[in-house]
Amino acid sequence: MTDPGGHADTAYLLDSAGPAAPPRDNGELVFAAPWESHAFGLALALREAGCIVWEDFRQALISEIGSWQASRSAAGSWSYYGCWLRALERLADERGLVTAGDLRARVATLAARPSEHEPGGLPHDHDATRAPAGAGHAG
Amino acid sequence: MTAAQEHLDPALRVEALASLLTERGLIDPATVETFIKTYEQSVGPMNGAKVVARAWADPDYRARLLADGTAAIAELGFKGPQGEHIVVLENTPAVHNVVVCTLCSCYPWPVLGLPPSWYKDPSYRSRVVREPRAVLAEFGLELADDVAVKVFDSSSEVRYMVLPERPAGTEGMSEEELAALVTRDAMVGVAAVGAP
């Protein structure tokens, strides 16, 4: 495990935790939802493992952001990490790490789980086939 | 990626991708967690604030920082995962620098942590190039007409960080006290450092 931040100066950070506590005091949370941080960490882990080259990922991200901007009238609201995730999925497919078909199948498997296994406890009201709330919590 | 897949819950897509990569031995979930924790908790604008405070307090360090930002920042123990080259832009009474990445969101992670949402926003990325004074005014930074505004577009090769002007009334302050005054926004160039 390399030290991605090079934070050799822990004592300094602790000393300064009051008036300028990093990193949230200087702005908002860096991640709006757990999946965003997970997508972020996956990209860095794949790079560290040598599975992807960072510049390739960056180019894929630029391409995804460009696509969103070109079709913004039809697309949903802006999501930076949505573009990040699509870039990661595309690169994983192109590199043969995880094909789009494999990913689709796994998403379907995960989506079919009982509700107590939903990641992050996010609501899934659009899933009309789901059992009523509470029905899946007997175990 | 099919259109249908894009409409699936991103949380499920990330979980699916992570589980497949883990099963195939390509990633270790602990590594993923470490990267997330490091960037959420350990790397933040305080790294950059320490660099700025040192530059304010030590003229020799300031000269090294402006000559070779990457090396001077590494002196304080801050290095990035991407080996990016960091160039430090000095604000003066005559020149105000502001940083953007028009293509994606290149950002000096080792010193500023991860970018705030507005930095990634399409509106900031396009407007700050076209009308920097108007954008800065929206951030609350009104610049006099005789101050030149320079906009720097980050790239994969070069990440920029602004060295703000040291505010008046800070002459007797320690480096630690100075660092506490420095904000992330000042190091991106959308704010000035206020007097204590």
Residue B37 phi, psi (nearest 5) = -60, -40
Written as six digits, the tokens of B181 are 């005054």
Q: Interface pTM (ipTM) of the complex?
A: 0.71
Residue A68: its H or E element:
helix A54-70
Task: Please list the active-site residues of B.
Answer: 101, 104-106
Chain A residues whose CB is inside 8 A of the B185 CB are 26-27
Exposure b/e, B75-86, CB count within 10 A at least 16 = b = ebbbbbbbebbb
Residue B119 phi, psi (nearest 5) = -65, -30
pLDDT of B160-170, one tens digit each?
Answer: 999 999 999 99
Distance to chain B for A104, nearest Cα, Å: 7
* DSSP-assigned letters across all residues of chain B: --HHHHTS-HHHHHHHHHHHHHHTTS--HHHHHHHHHIIIII-SHHHHHHHHHHHHH-HHHHHHHHH-HHHHHHHTT---TT--EEEEEE--SSEEEEEE-SSS----HHHH-SPPHHHH-HHHHHHHHH-HHHHHHHTT-PPPTTSEEEEEE--SSEEEEEEPPPPTT-TT--HHHHHTT--HHHHHTSSPPPP-
pLDDT average, residue stretch B9-19 = 94
Test B43 with A23 for CB contact under 8 angstroms: yes
pLDDT of A27-38, one tens digit each?
Answer: 445 787 889 999
Which of A28, A91, A99, A33 has its CA nearest to residue A63? A91
pLDDT average, residue stretch A74-91 = 85
Chain B residues whose CB is inside 8 A of the A3 CB are 38
In the predicted model, is pLDDT for residue A130 greater than 70?
no
| B82 band by pLDDT with thresholds 50, 70 and 90 | low
Residue A55: its H or E element:
helix A54-70
How many angstroms separate the CA atoms of B15 and B60, rounded? 49
Chain B residues whose CB is inside 8 A of the A81 CB are 10
Report pLDDT for B191: 93
Report pLDDT for B88: 96
How many angstroms separate the CA atoms of B41 and B24, rounded? 29
Report pLDDT for A1: 37
What is the share, in percent, of chain B residues with pLDDT greater than 70?
93
Test B44 with A23 for CB contact under 8 angstroms: yes
| B72 band by pLDDT with thresholds 50, 70 and 90 | very high
Contact A51, A95 (CB under 8 A): yes
pLDDT of B16-34, one tens digit each?
Answer: 999 999 999 999 999 999 8
Q: Which has the minimum average pLDDT: A80-84, B62-66, B160-164?
A: A80-84
Q: Compare B152 and A71 and report the one with higher pLDDT.
A: B152
Q: Angle A90-A91-A92 (CA atoms, 0-180°, nearest 5)?
A: 90
Distance to chain A for B95, nearest Cα, Å: 24
| B42 band by pLDDT with thresholds 50, 70 and 90 | low
Test B2 with A98 for CB contact under 8 angstroms: no
pLDDT average, residue stretch B92-115 = 88
Test A26 with B183 for CB contact under 8 angstroms: yes
Residue of A nearest to B103 (CA): A62
Distance to chain A for B125, nearest Cα, Å: 11
Report pLDDT for B37: 82
| B59 band by pLDDT with thresholds 50, 70 and 90 | very high
Report pLDDT for A115: 67
Sign, CA torsion B153/B161/B187/A87: positive
Test A45 with B47 for CB contact under 8 angstroms: no
Q: In a 3-state reduction of DSSP, which class is residue A42?
A: helix
Q: Compare B185 and A69 and report the one with higher pLDDT.
A: B185
Chain A residues whose CB is inside 8 A of the B50 CB are 9, 12
Residue B160 phi, psi (nearest 5) = -105, 150
Report pLDDT for A75: 53
Test A65 with B103 for CB contact under 8 angstroms: yes
Chain B residues whose CB is inside 8 A of the A40 CB are 35-36, 39, 114
Q: Which of A128-137, B37-46, B59-68 is modeled with the greatest confidence?
A: B59-68
Residue B20, Cβ neighbours under 10 Å: how many? 19
How many angstroms separate the CA atoms of B7 and B25, rounded? 28
Q: Which has the minimum average pLDDT: B85-99, B116-130, B132-146, B160-174?
A: B116-130
Q: Which has the minimum average pLDDT: A60-74, A94-108, B138-152?
A: A60-74
Report pLDDT for A2: 38
Q: Which among B14, B77, B109 is the nearest to A85, CB-wise?
A: B14
Chain A residues whose CB is inside 8 A of the B21 CB are 42, 46, 92, 97-98
A97: Cα separation from own chain's centroid: 17
Task: Say what the pTM is.
Answer: 0.71
Which of B85, B81, B59 has its CA nearest to residue B73? B85
Q: Which has the minimum average pLDDT: A104-113, B81-90, B148-157?
A: B81-90
Test A22 with B12 for CB contact under 8 angstroms: no
Residue whose pair of structure tokens reads 């090769």 in the numeric block? B157
Which residues face A134 on adjacent strands? none
| A23 band by pLDDT with thresholds 50, 70 and 90 | very low
Q: Which has the minimum average pLDDT: A7-16, A19-28, B70-79, B96-105?
A: A7-16
Test A20 with B9 for CB contact under 8 angstroms: no
Pick the residue of A26, A91, A103, A125 with the most B CBs within 10 A to test the interface with B by mutation.
Answer: A26
